[in-house]
Amino acid sequence: MPLLLSCTNSNVADVAVVGDTLNIRYASLLRITECNGYTVVDIDNPWNNTLMHRYLLVPKDAKIPAEMPTGTLLRTPLDNLLVFSTVHAELLEDLGCINAITGVCDARYITQPDVRKGLERGDIVDCGSSMDINLERVVQLSPNAVWVLPFENGGYGKLDKLSLPLVECVEYMESSPLGGAEWVRFYGRLMGCATKADSLFSVVEQNYLSLCDSVSKSATRPTMLCELKGSSAWYMPAGHSTMGCLYKDAGANYLFNYNSGSGSVPLAFETVLERAENTDVWLIKYGAEKDKTYKSLSADFAGYEYFKAYKNRNIYACNVSRKRFYEETPFRPDILLQELASIFHPELFPNHQLRFYEKMRE
């Protein structure tokens, strides 16, 4: 489908973008246009509905076109990356591009096995904390690009002082599981493996939609509660958040889907108890050296004992310290949907072996 876009944003030139726009089916913040000799990728700001960033992808073995709109030029494939997130390290492994990572920030949170080995050998540079980056190491590394995680009203600290291309990875703000996963098509084009990335997403999409179809045939929708109370509030995924959508697609009656938005909503314990006291299933995630039990859960907060799922011993727990939930699920929502659907509807998936969650022990 041809696209003619007049650029009115102050950050881009008045040069029109003429080319074939990819059929982006789920991602609302991403547009990709294949032009003559280059690719334009536009990323929208999820917080203020403006253009966040425009990238111009030009293959390294091609000449830079004489006329292009203003944007961040990236010569592809990228092969020298500074990466902030273990999620993107996992994705690069899936794309067969893990060797492109030459530096990381927040190394203690990076769990991808090949990256851990690279750090131990010294082949991958630890550039310090993302909040207090080691500029000297970054300069020595001289990466093609830095994959960063944008936040509302946030900058990039010391990185702003360097003239390095920043790839703003904002797929986590998409409001649907498939929307976030579809960003693999952008990352695949950065890494020179567009066909592989498109194929990977096609598999994810087909699996996800097939599972939705299977779940829709069930006449039951068990009520569900999720997460644990924090020190000041119980944070629940909003109805239009990725997790809220997943719970719905997995065939559960998520009792807090009435909350609007795509983030998390802080609720008082009394509010949660009033609405979810008789919930059928309770899913929790936590990070700890030892797995939680019903006894330790009660010791953490006695109010948990009021919930039906606690009384009926129907809590499923995921200890993210030893289960790679956050690393493996963002770009593979089909795997997580299968997990959730098998918990809510075991009659439909009697042979499924849980990968992340397990029934909480006494």
Model confidence at 304, in pLDDT bands (50, 70, 90)? Answer: very high
Please write down the long-range contacts of 97-103, taking CB distance under 8 Å and 24 or more positions apart. Answer: 97/191, 97/193, 100/191, 102/141, 102/143, 103/127, 103/137, 103/138, 103/141, 103/143
- φ/ψ of 349, rounded to 5, equals -135, 65
Residue 250 reports pLDDT greater than 80: yes
**Pair (169, 38) in one structural domain:** yes
User: What is the domain-level CATH number for residue 355?
Assistant: 3.40.50.1980
Q: How far apart are CA 92 and CA 69, in angstroms?
A: 28
pLDDT of 23-74, one tens digit each? 999 999 999 999 999 999 999 999 998 999 999 999 999 999 999 999 999 9
Same domain, 70 and 103: yes
* Coil, strand or helix at 329: coil
Mean pLDDT within 238-246? 92
Q: Which of 140, 169, 202 is the last residue of a domain?
A: 202
The reply to whether 324 falls in a domain is yes
Q: Are 57 and 130 found together in one domain?
A: yes
Q: What average pLDDT does this structure show over 68-83?
A: 96
Does 209 map to a domain? Answer: no
Residue 328 within a domain: yes
pTM, 2 dp? 0.91
Write down the residue that tokens 């929307």 correspond to.
179
Q: How far is CA 59 from CA 56, 63, 93, 226, in A?
A: 10, 8, 21, 45
Tell whether 102 and 149 lie within a shared domain: yes
- How far is CA 1 from each of CA 19, 28, 33, 54, 202, rounded to the nearest angstrom? 8, 17, 10, 20, 19
Residues 145 and 9 in one domain: yes
Clarify whether residues 223 and 167 are in a common domain: no
In terms of domains, do 340 and 235 share one? yes
Residue 333, phi then psi, degrees to nearest 5 = -65, -20
**62 and 156 housed in the same domain:** yes
Q: Where are the extended beta strands (E) located within 60-160?
A: 72-76, 81-83, 101-104, 125-126, 128-129, 132-133, 145-148
**Interval 112-159: pLDDT, tens:** 999 999 999 999 999 999 889 999 999 999 999 999 999 887 788 889
In a domain, 248, yes or no: yes
Residue with tokens 């291309």: 165
| DSSP helix/strand/coil, 184 | helix
* Boundary (domain end) residue, out of 177, 202, 227: 202
Q: Is residue 207 part of a domain?
A: no
Note whether residue 210 is domain-resident: no
pLDDT of residue 5: 34
d(CA 151, CA 128): 19
Question: Is residue 9 predicted with pLDDT exceeding 70?
Answer: no
Confidence of residue 8 (pLDDT cuts 50, 70, 90): very low
Work out how many domains the chain is built from and give that number: 2
| 163 and 249 both lie in a single domain | no
Band the pLDDT of 261: cuts 50, 70, 90.
confident
Asked if the model's pLDDT at residue 4 lies above 50, the reply is no
Assess whether 115 and 254 both reside in one domain.
no
Distance CA 217, CA 339 (A): 17
Strands 51-59 and 128-129: unpaired
Say whether both 147 and 9 belong to one domain.
yes
Q: What is the pLDDT of residue 351?
A: 92
Helix, strand, coil percent values for the chain (each to nearest 5): 35, 25, 45
Instruction: Look at 210 and 155; give whichever has higher pLDDT.
Output: 210
In this predicted structure, the answer to whether residue 226 has a pLDDT above a threshold of 80 is: yes
Whether 211 is covered by a domain: the verdict is: no
d(CA 252, CA 358) in angstroms, rounded, equals 18
Question: Tokens representing 177?
Answer: 């599981």
Judged against a pLDDT cut of 80, whether residue 11 lies above it is answered with no
Domain boundary among 202, 230, 248: 202
> What residues make up the domain containing 10?
2-202
Give residue-wise pLDDT tens across range 323-333.
999 999 999 99
Does a structural domain hold residue 63?
Answer: yes
Confidence band for 299, pLDDT divided at 50, 70 and 90: very high
Percentage above 90 pLDDT, the chain: 85
301 and 191 in a common domain: no
pLDDT at 2: 33
Confidence of residue 14 (pLDDT cuts 50, 70, 90): low
